Structure 1
Amino acid sequence: MKTDDLVNVLSTRVEPVDSRKVGRRIALTVALASALAVTTILVGLGPRTGLNSAAAWAFLLLKIAFAATVTGAAAAYLTKLSRPGGSLRHGATIVVLPFLAVVALALVSLGSAPASHWDRMVTGDAWLECLVSIPVIAIVPFAMTMWAVRQAAPTDLRRAGAFAGLVAGGISAFAYALHCTDDSLPFVAVWYGGTIVLCTLAGALLGPRLLRW
């Protein structure tokens, strides 16, 4: 077969690419990973107690909203990164907004409390459990998210890995919030925010190795 004939044959068999396929795959992966993380937390650590006041419910919803917003924004940008050439920087800054919001609220909370209470507000009762649990629970969601990204064709592997880690950290923080009884904005800013950032950094380090074609 001549080269021109081969090109013609191949071109007639090209099917249109569904640009939404990547987004659907990542969305499904996030949903499944979230369900798995929540199940792991509720079975392994148990649901939180002490939800007998409006304030307790408000803090629970705030922690869930923070983690869910981070996860959703990161997953949306990760969908763009998963496509060839999807390494544009614009749009990524929206992921920072939830962190800025919770840090601002934490600073207001500290400013309105006596300095003698600050240490307790930051460390809470379970800072070590939070520090360990969120990164550990994030391992499986990270692996699932990286698998979904590998099915596409990312070109900026480090950035894609970082956002996969950010998604996994957000999912894990969302699940851990269903167990955590520390209702302090500084605690959320430091330990939830800090562990999510750790997951992001781990993803950035592992991305080039795990996503290499």
Structure 2
Amino acid sequence: MKRDRDNLIAGLADDLAPVRGFSARDGAVLVTLAVLATVLGVSFFQGLWAGILSGEAEPFFWITNGLLLLLGLASASAVVAMASPHVGARHDAPNWAAAMVGILPVAAIISVIPHGHGPSALMDPVSIHCLTSSLIASTVTGGALLYWLRRGAPVSLEKAGWFTGLAAGALGGVAYGLSCPLTTVTHLGIWHVLPVAITAVIGRLAIPRLVNW
């Protein structure tokens, strides 16, 4: 009986192979590299705005990109953690960060109401360009987080999808935002935040179908 058991265990172990460790630090490094690659890509294809260093950037520029950065970091950290689920884990930070970013488009809309302008006041010559460019810039971080989720075993795929989209859109938006010289409330509050909402919806719909374990 003991020999049969030993043979069974040996047979099961024959096909085993060592695997690389799975740690949150590696996920953080992966996201960092993705963001740096995005910034380099924006710098190469678009060029970074010199006004950032010369003091031309208005306070709202820093507020918008700072809030987007916080949202991106909070969401990316949650996604990395969700790839290795454990009991008692809470992921509330992205929700609070998203609520803070949500104030920006509200401020943009309110800023045009007293002047009696219609929706056309929210448009500018580069609005669609910023929208599409931010969406393109989000693909690198989104792809990195998708890869990380596929390596792990996330339990709540729907929530992981939301957070992946938020992280990709926010971090991609910050990377592209370094090239945008427009610092008005209407431009930043609408056209640099709208891509985040779009990528969040895309993430919610696509990630559960792309991550299987």
TM-score category of the 2 structures, normalised to the smaller one: 0.7 to 0.9
- Per-residue CA deviations over 1:157-187 (Å, capped at 9, x if unaligned) read 2321221121111111011111112212222
1:42 is aligned with what amino acid?
A: S
| Corresponding letter in the other structure for 1:189 | G
Question: What secondary structure sits across from 1:124 in the alignment?
Answer: coil
Aligned residues of 1:26 and 1:149 also touching (Cα < 8 A):
no
Return the offset for 1:32. Answer: 0.6
C-alpha distance in 1, partners of 2:203/2:154? Answer: 14
Shift of 1:23: 2.3
Structure 2 residue matching 1:59: 3-state secondary structure: helix
Q: Which residue of 2 aligns with 1:69?
A: 70
Give matches, 1:108-127, under 5 Å. 109-110=111-112, 114-116=115-117, 119-120=120-121, 122-127=122-127
Deviations 1:40-84 (A, max 9, x none): 111101112555875624233223202211101111222332223
Residues 68, 170 of structure 2: 8 Å contact kept = yes
Number of aligned residues: 201
- Structure 1 residues 168 and 52: alpha-carbon distance in aligned structure 2, compared to 1, 3 A threshold: closer
Report the CA distance between 1:22 and its aligned residue: 3.8
Deviations 1:112-155 (A, max 9, x none): x52349744x2233111011111112122211111112222112
- Aligned pairs for 1:63-142 (under 5 A) are 63-84=64-85, 91=92, 92-107=94-109, 109-110=111-112, 114-116=115-117, 119-120=120-121, 122-142=122-142
Structure-1-length-normalised TM-score: 0.78
Kindly indicate whether the alpha-carbon contact (under 8 Å) linking 1:86 and 1:156 is maintained by their aligned counterparts in 2.
no
Query: Is the CA contact 1:60–1:178 (under 8 Å) kept in the aligned structure 2?
Result: no
Q: Distance in 2 between matches of 1:179 and 1:52?
A: 12
Structure 2, unmatched stretches of 5+, are 14-20
Alignment-derived partner of residue 5 in structure 2:
2
Report if aligned partners of 1:169, 1:199 keep a CA contact under 8 Å in 2: yes
- Whether the 8 Å contact between 1:63 and 1:177 is mirrored in structure 2 is no
Aligned residue type for 2:44: V
Q: Distance in 1 between matches of 2:99 and 2:67?
A: 10
Q: Percent identity?
A: 22
1:150 paired with 2:153, answer: no
Cα pair distance change 1:47/1:54, threshold 3 Å:
closer
| TM-score, normalised by the number of residues in structure 2 | 0.78
Give the conservation status (yes or no) of the 8 Å contact 1:66–1:102. no
Name the SS of the counterpart of 1:73 in structure 2. Answer: helix
* Larger radius of gyration between Structure 1 and Structure 2: 2
Letter in 2 for 1:110: V
Compared with structure 1, are the counterparts of its residues 60 and 28 closer, same or farther at alpha carbon in structure 2 (3 Å cutoff)? same
RMSD over aligned Cα atoms: 3.2
Q: Which runs of 4 or more aligned residues in structure 1 lie more than 4 Å from their structure 2 counterparts after TM superposition?
A: 49-55, 85-90
Cα distance in 2, alignment partners of residues 55 and 86 from structure 1 = 48
Contact in 2 for aligned 1:87/1:156 (Cα 8 Å) = no
d(CA) in 2 for partners of 1:110, 1:76: 36
Question: What are structure 1's unaligned runs of at least 5 residues?
Answer: 11-17
Residues 159 and 207, structure 1, Cα contact 8 Å, conserved in 2 = no
- The 2-side partners of 1:156 and 1:86 are apart by 13
| 1:189 paired residue number | 189
